[in-house]
Chains A and B, each alone.
Chain A
């Protein structure tokens, strides 16, 4: 991930400005392989190492939570240039400032947990 520069704030900015194919290539490749793999698992009923069938839990049907939650996430993603995974890769890479972002991401998660029953889902 570090090598693909997907952890770079600059790359995220470039993506949101649609000025390069870079990030779309990375995500597109992962999703293309993902779609093929998931289809294979479903077709051949591949089991996990416990011998349990691999089930894909359909996400709850809703529009509000995905659209509102997603938009809030997007605001943060564009600002901090990192989603949760790349945050910790950055910390390992030596960008200590990302620890602040990561800490507040935990705080944000906690806030959601506190008020989730009051939000439209």
Chain B
């Protein structure tokens, strides 16, 4: 499925990479005036934007028509590791401790989401792509830079998981 979308975009003369949309949104918002990086013809990126809209719709449809509301079946080892951080076993797709209303309205909860987003946005543009652009499209083309980027994803991810989580939770 993921590979099918990549070939669909390639066929229509585009490339597959989701985080480019973040740049496109900045450009569409007129931020090109303050930073040259966003001064480009964002309308040429419409196909990827269509994919973004489709992704929102896809999430909605999955929820409305295909959802069983079953908790995610993660491994016991993960559940026990997370319980040490006060995160209870899944009862849906996402932990309430991070995405529930109480969490969002607390200063810490909001800050965590905001920082997470900031790092994803900043890092993906710095590295020139995210999971779709590097791990999937880039590795499909056997590109060394993408392999380095994916190694970076894991360096960051492992640092967060093993060193920073114990500090913040």
Contact = CB atoms under 8 A, between A and B. Distances in A.
A20 B75 contact: yes
Contacts of B116: 76, 79-82, 101, 104
A101 B72 contact: no
Contacts of B157: 12, 15-16, 74-75, 77-78
B13 A52 contact: yes
A114 B36 CA distance: 8
Interface in A11-34: 11-17, 19-20, 26-27, 29-31, 33-34
A34 B123 contact: no
Interface residues of A, number: 90
B155 A70 contact: yes
A63 B127 CA distance: 10
A39 B36 CA distance: 36
How many interface residues does chain B have, given as a range?
35 or more
A92 B22 contact: no
Interface string A71-104: 1111111111111110111111111011011111
Contacts of B138: 59
Given A11-B72, A79-B112, A83-B18, A59 B11 contact: no
A88 to B, nearest CB: 5
B7 interface: yes
27 contacts: A2-B93, A5-B72, A13-B81, A20-B74, A30-B136, A37-B7, A48-B12, A50-B13, A59-B129, A59-B146, A67-B148, A67-B152, A70-B153, A71-B153, A74-B153, A74-B156, A76-B119, A80-B116, A83-B130, A84-B21, A108-B117, A110-B31, A110-B121, A112-B121, A113-B31, A113-B35, A116-B37
Interface of A: 1-3, 5, 7-17, 19-20, 26-27, 29-31, 33-35, 37-38, 41, 48-50, 52, 54, 56-63, 65-85, 87-95, 97-98, 100-114, 116, 119
